[in-house]
Amino acid sequence: MSQTVLRRAFLRSVSAFGAAALFLSAMSEGAVAQDDRTSVRIGYAVSLSGANAGGAGITTIPNYRLWVEDVNAAGGLLLPDGSRLPIEVIEYDDRSSSEEAVRAVERLATQDEVDFILPPWGTGFNLAIAPLMARAGYPQIAVTAVTDRAPEFVERWPSSFWLLGGGADYSTALAAVMAEARDAGAINNQVAMISVADGFGIDLVNAARPALTEAGFELVYDEVFPVGTSDFSTILNEARATTADSFVAFSYPPHTFALMQQAQVVDYSPPLFYLGVGAGFPVFQNMNAENVEGVMSLGGIDPNNPLNAAYRERHQEVIGAPADYWASVITYSSLQMLQQAIERVGLDREAVTQELATGTFETAAGTIMLENNQLRDLWWVGQWQGGTFVGVAPTDREGASAPQLPKPGWN
């Protein structure tokens, strides 16, 4: 490269930097006047595209839209002085990338100057934005983040809230349900267990192994399968060849659907059949009709809670699809908590954070009061019973259905 060309290239690049600087300064003028507000600005960056779009599209986005629709239909968010302000939504796509999620939240906080930021979908993304949210003083009501380290995170980021429990909660509750069923003679003490080699599966299986052993179960089959697995016939045949009465799979939605279908094909119907994420999705029921009866998984609902029933009806009506049976109602309830906190203390973020931590809220998932910024009152184990995915554990929780074991065979 000759020196003239080099210099020309360099000058050109200097002007490009200049243009970029202009662009930046132009963008920083987009701030809104805080006085005479005509709306409450609420922003979120969720995975609309990429690997996480499936999960976000089922659990997170529909509930954000439903809530905004509900609030605005009622005239807006109620403020302590009795006035109402409509919600103005700013929606971004994090494209399933942490870097994008971080930048989108920076944009929401400092560019759009939104009043509140709703959390993204997934544990990783909630953690990625947590330091920013805490620094900018936004309460972060993380729902779709299953983590055993929530107490530590609360200490680190005091304005963060963790609403879906940790892997160990789900596994130990399952072990307790199984122990009870074994003592009642419904199943034997052998378990065939598989898990996906990914964050969620590993968390659950790591907690399940000691919990099951401690409860006196024998793990006769314990396999880890890669995320990309789609053919489970070998695994299912090997599990069937054991004498275990219980089949437990800590799986993601694609595996859950495949396992359910292939178990019917190879006619493997153990007395206890537990699948991972996805078994509470409405599409799971559509695909398998009455064969879902008796299948267990995470989450569940109290079928006799009228608020929840009303929520599910509304979800179907507005979104055009039924809500899933695990995190959907918690997502919607987290927004109701935010709504009620604003109603009580106004739009001051610090006061809202304080109220979220200490207040009591009436939500679609029942009365919610957080303990140390975490929701501990959750359905850890659920089971399909009569076409509804009902919560069966913790067994002493109000509204708990009794687990029905053994599961009926395939039709």
Partner 1 sequence: MNTTVAFILAAAALAGLAIAPLFLNAYGIGLLVGMTGYVVLASAWAMFSGPTRYVSLATVAFFGIGAYTVAVLSETLPYPLVLLCACAIGLTVALIVGLSTLRLAGIYFVIFTFGLAELIRQLVTWYEVNVTGTLGRYIFLPFEGIHIYWQLLALAAATLLLSWWINRSRLGLALRAVGDDEVVAAHAGINVSRAKLMLFALSATIITLVGAIQAPRWVYVEPAIVFNPTISFLTLIMALLGGATRLWGPALGAIPLFLLFEWLSANFPNYFSIILGVFFIGIVFFLPQGVLAKIEGLRRPARKAPPENKERSGAA
Among 69, 198, 223, 343, binds partner 1 (CB under 8 A): 198
Does residue 48 bind partner 1 (CB under 8 A)? yes
Options 132-140, 279-287, 308-316, 382-390: segment touching partner 1 (CB under 8 A): 132-140
CB-CB neighbours of 326 under 10 Å: 27
Phi, psi at residue 322, to the nearest 5°? -70, 155
Smallest gap, in angstroms, from Cβ of residue 397 to partner 1? 29
Stretch that binds partner 1, among 124-132, 293-301, 307-315, 383-391 (CB under 8 A): 124-132
Closest CA to 47 of 34, 56, 38: 56
Binding flag, residue 20, partner 1 (CB under 8 A) = yes
Report if residue 111 touches partner 1, rule: CB under 8 A: yes
Q: Which is nearer to partner 1, 232 or 252 (CB)?
A: 252
The yes or no reply on residue 12 touching partner 1 (CB under 8 A) is yes
Minimum Å distance from CB 16 to partner 1? 6
Q: Is 86 in the site for partner 1 (CB under 8 A)?
A: no
DSSP string for 133-159? HHHHT--EEE-S---TTHHHHHHHSTT
| Close Cβ partners of 33 (under 8 Å, ≥ 6 residues apart) | none
Identify the residue among 23, 80, 267, 310 touching partner 1 (CB under 8 A): 23
Question: Contact at 8 Å (CB) between 397 and 365?
Answer: no
**93 contacts partner 1 (rule: CB under 8 A):** yes
Give the DSSP H or E segment for 384: strand 381-385
Interacting stretch for partner 1, rule CB under 8 A, among 81-89, 106-114, 174-182, 333-341? 106-114
Residue 127 makes contact with partner 1 by CB under 8 A: yes
Site of tokens 């659907």? 257
Instruction: Out of 76, 131, 303, 346, point to the residue binding partner 1 (CB under 8 A).
Output: 131
Q: How far apart are CA 173 and CA 279, in angstroms?
A: 17
Supply the minimum distance, in Å, between the C-beta of residue 326 and partner 1: 20
Give the interface segment with partner 1, choosing from 63-71, 192-200, 237-245, 367-375 (CB under 8 A). 192-200
Position 380, amino acid: W
* Choice between 225 and 384, CB closer to partner 1: 225
Tell me the C-alpha distance between 343 and 212, whole Å: 45
3-state helix, strand, coil in the chain (%, to 5): 45, 20, 35
Q: CA 137 to CA 147: how far, in whole Å?
A: 22
Which positions from 314 through 373 interact with partner 1, judged by CB under 8 A? none
Distance CA 192, CA 257 (A): 18
Is 71 in contact with 23 (CB distance < 8 Å)?
no
Q: Which of 54, 57, 84, 103 binds partner 1 (CB under 8 A)?
A: 103
CB of 185 to partner 1, least distance (A): 34
CB neighbours of residue 332 within 10 Å: 27
On whether the CB atoms of residues 407 and 272 are closer than 8 A, the answer is: yes
By CB under 8 A, which span of 70-78, 87-95, 178-186, 331-339 interacts with partner 1?
87-95
**Binder among 114, 128, 244, 338 for partner 1 (CB under 8 A):** 128
What are the φ and ψ backbone dihedral angles of 28, each rounded to 5 degrees? -75, 0
Is residue 230 a contact residue for partner 1 (CB under 8 A)?
Answer: no
Instruction: Report how far residue 90's alpha carbon sits from residue 112's, in angstroms, rounded to the nearest whole number.
Output: 8
Of residues 137, 143, 182, 181, the one with CA closest to residue 161: 143
> Applying CB under 8 A, which part among 61-69, 72-80, 81-89, 121-129 lies near partner 1?
121-129
CB of residue 201 to partner 1, shortest distance in Å: 8
- Among all chains, which residue has been given the structure tokens 């839209």? 65
Give the total of residues touching partner 1 (CB under 8 A): 60
Q: How far is the CB of 239 from partner 1 (least distance, A)?
A: 20
Of 23 and 83, which CB lies nearer to partner 1 in the complex structure? 23
Residue-wise DSSP of 51-99: TTHHHIIIIIHHHHHHHHHHHHHTTSEE-TTS-EE-EEEEEEE-TT-HH
Site residues (CB under 8 A) for partner 1? Answer: 1, 3-7, 9-14, 16-17, 20-21, 23-24, 27-28, 48-51, 91-93, 95-100, 102-104, 106-107, 109-111, 123-124, 127-128, 130-132, 135-136, 156, 197-199, 202-203, 206, 224, 226-227
